[in-house]
Amino acid sequence: MRTIHDWFDEYGESHRHPTNKLVHWVCVPVIFFSVIGLLRSIPVVFLEEPIRLDMAGVVVLLGLLFYLRLSLRMFLGMLLWCLFCLWGTAWLSAHAPWPLWALSLGLFTAAWIGQFIGHRIEGKKPSFLKDLAFLLIGPAWLMGFIYRRFGIAY
């Protein structure tokens, strides 16, 4: 089993160019947020009142289990980010002038275009083309930078 450091080292190999890093600081959180928004836009399936199946919550829970396997501190940081994304998408769903799915799809598309431009500048393919788990590593990699900035071990 790879450690969090193994994942970050491998992910970092294709994220060295300053412009690509900057693009990732903007686009990775936007992609993460927009995926939560798209999942939240899937109609809710009622199992039995008051229990309901929310696809965004289910996927967030599965992602958090992945982060917990990597590190308790990374799990806690990603939990805070996930809670913000769940709250933000709920707020947008209730207050935005456009449907949440449309906003999320637009953000998702624009952010992925940015990601591919960043990797074009980098001259290396995105890591997720090698292993889909890197789609979860990208947000954690950024969280790792935040942790190091404040002297927090992960």
11-29 residue pLDDT tens: 999 999 999 999 999 999 9
Provide mean pLDDT across the span 55-68: 95
Cα 17 from Cα 4, distance rounded (Å): 22
Inter-residue contact 27 to 118 (CB < 8 Å): yes
* Environment class of 135 (CB within 10 Å of its CB; exposed 0-12, middle 13-18, buried 19+): middle
User: Is 90 exceeded by the pLDDT of residue 53?
Assistant: no
143-152 LR contacts (CB < 8 Å, sep 24+): 143/74, 143/77, 143/78, 143/81, 144/4, 144/8, 144/74, 146/77, 147/73, 147/74, 147/77, 152/73
Q: Given this model, what pLDDT does residue 43 score?
A: 78
Q: What is the pLDDT of residue 44?
A: 74
Q: What stretches of the chain show up as alpha helix (H) in DSSP? A: 4-12, 18-40, 55-70, 72-95, 100-122, 134-149
**Spatial contact of 40 and 93, defined as CB atoms under 8 Å apart:** yes
Average pLDDT over residues 23-47: 92
92-149 pLDDT per residue, tens: 999 999 999 999 999 999 999 999 999 999 999 999 998 999 999 999 999 999 999 9
Residue 48 has pLDDT above 80, yes or no: no
What percentage of the chain reaches a pLDDT higher than 90?
Answer: 90
Residue 54's pLDDT is 84
Cα–Cα distance between 40 and 141 in angstroms, integer? 25
The residue written with tokens 């958090």 in the block is 64
DSSP 117-137: HHHHHHTS--GGGT-TTHHHH
Domain positions in the chain: 18-146
Contacts of 12 (CB under 8 A, 6+ apart): 141
pLDDT at 50: 65
Task: Name the β-bridge partners of 51.
Answer: 48
What do you get for the CA distance between the two ends of the chain, in Å? 17
